[in-house]
Amino acid sequence: MTNIAKNRNVKHSGLIKLKDLKLHKLQEAYPNFPYPPIPKYSDKTSNGLTKCVIDWINLNGYQAERISSTGRKIDNTKIVTDCIGRKRSIGQTKWIKGSGTPGTADISSTILGRSVKIEIKCKATGDRYQSEAQKNYQKEVETAGGIYLIVRTFQGFYEWYQEFTKTI
């Protein structure tokens, strides 16, 4: 095995273990199905990274869920036909604020009985900075005794998870 291949496996060993764990759980759930589909995971997008983190936590017997803090779109448009038969859209759409806490984390989880809030800032997409609302939310969580984690890659999360579950 070349040095490049060795480095690639070390760099993505967390994703490989996630795929293997998912495949093992599928084989346990469906023992009579000879060829379960091979799961595909990637941390190259924010949605992909979020899916990896949530699946890892849930597959290991803990609880994790995605938190959606977006508002709602109110559509007040109407389609009307003018006097020469053309259809036009009149009115407007607007967004109303969500009812959630501003700056809330992307993932809410419980690992070993501890509340862990996870903010996804995907390195591959260049998402780097927390908003002021997110910084305030982080302070609130940490003041209350919870854990607030910023995840940039799945490998980084995987290494944190290994250390965290070892210490408790």
| DSSP assignment string, 5-68 | HHHHHHHTHHHHHHHHHHHHHHHHH-TT-SSPPPP----SSHHHHHHHHHHHHHHTT-EEEE--
Residue 88 and residue 81: Cα distance in Å, rounded? Answer: 6
How many Cβ atoms sit within 10 Å of the Cβ of residue 54? 18
Q: Which residues pair with 65 in a beta bridge?
A: 108
pLDDT exceeds 70 at position 168: no
pLDDT exceeds 50 at position 19: yes
Residue 55 and residue 135: Cα distance in Å, rounded? Answer: 26
Residue 56 and residue 74: Cα distance in Å, rounded? Answer: 36
Mean pLDDT for the stretch of residues 119-130? 90
> H or E segment at 93?
strand 93-96
Lowest mean pLDDT segment, chosen from 34-38, 52-56, 99-103: 99-103
Number of structural domains the chain divides into: 1
Whether the model clears a pTM of 0.85, i.e. scores above it, the answer is no
pLDDT exceeds 50 at position 9: no
**Residue ranges making up the domain that contains 39:** 3-167
What pLDDT shows up at residue 75? 87
Q: What is the DSSP letter of 132?
A: H
What pLDDT shows up at residue 11? 54
What pLDDT shows up at residue 4? 41
pLDDT exceeds 70 at position 5: no
pLDDT exceeds 50 at position 8: no
pLDDT exceeds 50 at position 73: yes
Are the C-beta atoms of 144 and 105 separated by less than 8 Å? Answer: no
